[in-house]
Amino acid sequence: MMDSVALYCKDWTSWQGLMLTVSILTCWLLPTTAKITIKSMPPIAVEGEHVLLFVDNLPKNVKAFSWYTGVTALKSCEIASHTIATNFTVVGLAHGGRETVFNNGSLLIKSVTRKDSGHYTLQIRDATLRPEIIHAEFFVHSPLLGYKKHLTPSQLIIGLIPPRVEENNNIILQVFNMPEKLQGFAWHRGVLPLSHLKIASHSFLTNSTRLGHAYSNRVKVRNDGSLLLLNVKKKDTGIYTLRTISVDLKSEWAILDLQVNKP
C-alpha cells in the first residue's frame, strides 16, 4: 500500500507527498482504545544490570498471565505464570532464579547476561480464558572499554516491615544498602518517574522534603530513605519505586510490589 502511495505522489511536491504519508500513517496508528505495551527499561543493558519489562495499560479484566522466552508461548520456554486475584506465581521450566513477576504483569530480570538478549512473550488471559500475545525485546552488551559500570538495583533493596501487610496496619518500606554521598532520593507510585505519581522527594543538600501529587497524610518520609505508611488501605496496593542520585550524578533505583491483604 505504501508503494502505491509513493507512486501516486511522484507528480506532487515533496511536502504534499509528506503530508499525505503523515495523514495515512496517523489514520493507521491512532488507537481507538489504549493498547497494551511493554517498555524495556533499559532497552539496551550492560551485563550485570537489571532489566524491567514494564507492562502498560494492562486491562482490568485480565485474570492471569504467563511470560516466555522467545516469540512463542511454549511450555518449555515458560518463565512463570501468575494469577492476579491470589497474587500467586508458579515458575516454569525457563525460570533461571533471577526473574520476578509483578501483579501488574511486569517482569524483572536481575543481573542480566548477554544470553538474556532477545525476544520475550507475554500471554494474558481474561475471564473467558481467551489468550492474547504481546512481544518485547531488549539487548545486553559487555561493558565497553573505559565504560564505568554504574550502580545497579541489586545494591539498593526495599524490605517490608512487617513482611505481611494487612489493612489498617502501619508498615515501613525499609531501605537497605542506601548509597553514600547522596544528593537526594524520591519515591514514586508505579515504575516510571512521572510527576503526577511522585509521593515525595528529599534533598540532603538542603535537608528538605518536597511532597508530590501522590502524597497523602498517611505517608511519612524518613531521612534514611524509608517510607512509613500509616493505616494502609487496599488502594495502597501496587508498585513503589525508590530512586536515588549521588553527588557525582550516579543513579540507583529499587522497586517493591506491595500487596495489602484483608485481616
Domain count across the chain: 2
**Domain coverage including residue 54:** 37-141
- 19 vs 128, more confident: 128
10 Å CB burial of residue 104 (0-12, 13-18, 19+) is middle
Q: Are residues 116 and 158 in the same domain?
A: no
- Distance separating alpha carbons of residues 27 and 19, to the nearest angstrom: 12
Residue 209 inside a domain? The answer is: yes
Q: Are residues 181 and 219 in the same domain?
A: yes
- The model's confidence at residue 174, banded by pLDDT at 50, 70 and 90, is very high
Nearest one of 256, 254, 257 to 185, comparing CA atoms: 254
Distance CA 258, CA 234 (A): 10
Decide which of 91, 111, 141 is a domain's last residue: 141
Q: What confidence score (pLDDT) does residue 34 get?
A: 61
Q: Are residues 157 and 252 in the same domain?
A: yes
Q: Residue 261 carries which DSSP code?
A: B
**3-state DSSP of 130-153:** CEEEEEEEEEEECCCCCCCCCCCH
On whether both 254 and 182 belong to a single domain, the answer is: yes
For residue 18, is pLDDT > 70? no
User: Which of the listed residues 110, 141, 172 is the one where a domain comes to its end?
Assistant: 141
Q: Verify that 134 and 56 share a domain, yes or no.
A: yes
Whether residue 76 is found in the same domain as residue 123 = yes
**Tell me, what CATH number does 65's domain have?**
2.60.40.10
Judgement on whether residues 247 and 170 belong to the same structural domain of the protein = yes
Given a cut of 60, whether residue 227 has pLDDT beyond it is yes
Instruction: Flag the least confident range among 11-25, 37-51, 63-77, 161-175.
Output: 11-25
Percent of the chain with pLDDT over 70: 83
Would 17 be classed as within a structural domain?
Answer: no
Q: Cell 517498555 sits at which residue?
A: 39
